[in-house]
Chain A
Amino acid sequence: MRRVLLAGAGVLGLAVAIHVPGMWTALGADAKSAFCPFGAAPRLATRSAPTTPRPALGFTLDVTTRSEIDAWAQARGVTCQARRGGGVLECEQRAALATTTLWFRFAGTTLAGIQTSRRTTADGVATAFAETEAALTTVLGDPSRRQGDPAASALARGALRQAMVEYRAPAYRAVVRATNMGDGFVLTESYAN
């Protein structure tokens, strides 16, 4: 019975995360349609998840499986390599204005964490930051911590200017940072249990 409940919660959590606006923007405009089993369905705002959701870039920690990540990468043409004895999958996604490196960490065959580093423009990083923050806030509520001004103009004022938001929930922590690296701008995201 417990297994059934957990599985149900997992599917619901994944569905919620997939439909959070902005989650997929960082990975490409058509990512949702490429993976979403429900098409461009509206966000599941009327149902509450029985457990704390743990969204991570459109995936769900402790729910998404390695085979699902592999399928996502294959569908998107994302290049991935196994690292750390297979426990980490390092992927790189190139787009016109951004290059994203993603590190997927697995516990067995289940997704345990994601970290990303995305090089893009000042406007690109500001937009991605705002979309990601809005998406996480929709699912998790207000962030537990926020620092810095994420506007492109503020980040562009000097190297190492940074804005960050952090979300904490039981067995979950998400940190998003937009940083001026001097020679470009970086959006980093970290999702872990």
Chain B
Amino acid sequence: MRTLVVFAFALVGCTPETSIRPDTKARTPIQAVSCASVTPTVTVMTFGLAYSPDPTTVAAGSIVQFVMAPQHNVTSSSPGLAVGFGATTCLEFPEPGTYTFECASHKFTGTVIVTDGPEVPEGPGAKLVCPSSGRNAFDTYGVAAFVAVNEEIFTLVLADLDANGTTNLGDSFTKIGTGIPPSTSDDLATFKGKLAAFLVWAYGGPASITYTDGKPYVGPQDMVIAHTGLGITSAQYDFFVANIIVPALTNKGVTGDDLAMCFAPVVTAPTFKATMVGK
């Protein structure tokens, strides 16, 4: 399993000081394991006064590697969840739950969400290699670029709606927040956060992010549910990709070769398109 080292500084604001609630449930304790003998699912680091990524979502039994700067540590009421100042420690999370922790010196907090389902699958673009870097899209362009692309998508959508009304885009965006059909129940901010999380995960980033609104979003999402009732046609999908997705990527600096090699295979995959068209 690949180690993800993510500097999510653009997504993580200063976390307000909060007290950590005592964990009253009896759980199998978190265990420290030798980092030399395991492959961590995620690596949590510190960047400024924040943990990153935060929150971190892993399946039960996963290993999370904590790499602390000299001035930061991890303390928690959850037994076994502790990392010393400047230490690198690998911890196994055997049971599902939400584990919160904080830096004893600076009081910023972090969260590890342990799910009881299967391990979060790798994004479909995680193994695609960008010619410009030899790495996947997320590792090549970074979280700030993904935020910029996500925002650009909405800028272009709003411009299209302004110029053309619902001519082509239909209800996909104008019914945001109405709940009719149910796939439109998310408000705009949630919709943005979810799309950002999906893009980050799909292209090789972490399975969860904290978006610019300070809220956590999970990357793997059911695209069929998200598009059911919208009646998107194949022609609309083509128009959207050509007029919104490609311009959003190129406007934010993605080069032609990278576009073709490490972005396009996800967007143009018939199986992916089938999750959105005709639902």
Which A residues contact B (CB, under 8 angstroms)?
83-84, 87-88, 92, 101, 103, 105, 113, 115, 117, 119, 147-148, 157-162, 164, 173, 175, 177, 179-183, 186, 188, 190, 192-193
- Asked if A181 contacts B268 (CB within 8 A), the reply is yes
Partner of A115, one of B233, B239, B260: B239
A181 to chain B, nearest CB (A): 6
Report B252-279 CB contacts with A as 1/0, cut-off 8 Å.
Answer: 0000110111011101111000000000
Contact residues in A for B165 (Cβ distance below 8 Å)? 84, 87-88, 105, 113
* Bound form: Cα–Cα A148–B257 in Å: 12
Q: Which residue of chain B has the shortest Cβ distance to A160 in the bound complex?
A: B264
Measured CA separation A142–B263 after assembly (Å): 32
Answer whether residue B24 sits at the interface, using C-beta atoms and an 8 A cutoff. no
A-B contact pairs, 8 of them (CB 8 A): A84-B167, A115-B168, A117-B238, A157-B260, A159-B264, A160-B245, A160-B264, A188-B243
- A158/B242 in contact, CB under 8 A: no
Is A192 in contact with B246, judged by CB distance below 8 angstroms?
no
**Given that A161-B259, A182-B264 are known contacts, is A103 also in contact with B167, CB under 8 Å in the complex?**
yes
Verify if B235 is at the interface (C-beta below 8 Å from A): yes
| Contact count A vs B, C-beta below 8 Å | 100
Bound: A190/B167 CA distance, A:
10
Question: B18 an interface residue at 8 Å Cβ cutoff?
Answer: no
Please tell me if the beta carbons of A158 and B259 are within 8 angstroms of each other in the complex: yes
| Residues of B participating in the A interface, judged by any CB pair closer than 8 Å | 163-168, 170, 233, 235-236, 238-239, 241-243, 245-247, 249-250, 256-257, 259-261, 263-265, 267-270
Given the interface contacts A103-B168, A115-B167, A192-B164, does A179 sit within 8 Å of B235 by beta carbon?
no
Known contacts being A117-B235, A179-B246, is A192 close to B163, with CB within 8 Å? yes
List the A residue with the shortest CB-CB distance to B245.
A160
Q: Which of A105, A119, A157, A182 contacts B167 (CB 8 A)?
A: A105
Q: A105-B167, A160-B249, A162-B250 are in contact. List 16 more A-B contacts (CB 8 A).
A: A84-B165, A84-B167, A92-B235, A115-B167, A117-B168, A117-B236, A159-B260, A160-B267, A160-B268, A161-B259, A161-B260, A180-B260, A182-B269, A188-B243, A190-B164, A190-B243
Q: A84 to B247, alpha carbons, bound, how many Å?
A: 26
Which residues of the partner chain A approach B247 to less than 8 Å between Cβ atoms? 164
- Interchain CB contact under 8 A, A160 and B168: no
Asked whether B265 lies within 8 Å of A159 as measured between CB atoms, the reply is yes
CA distance A158 to B260 in the complex (A): 5
Cα A179 to Cα B239 in complex, Å, equals 10
Does the CB pair B264–A186 fall under 8 Å?
no
Which chain B residue lies CB-closest to A101? B235
A180 to B165 CA separation, bound complex (whole angstroms): 26
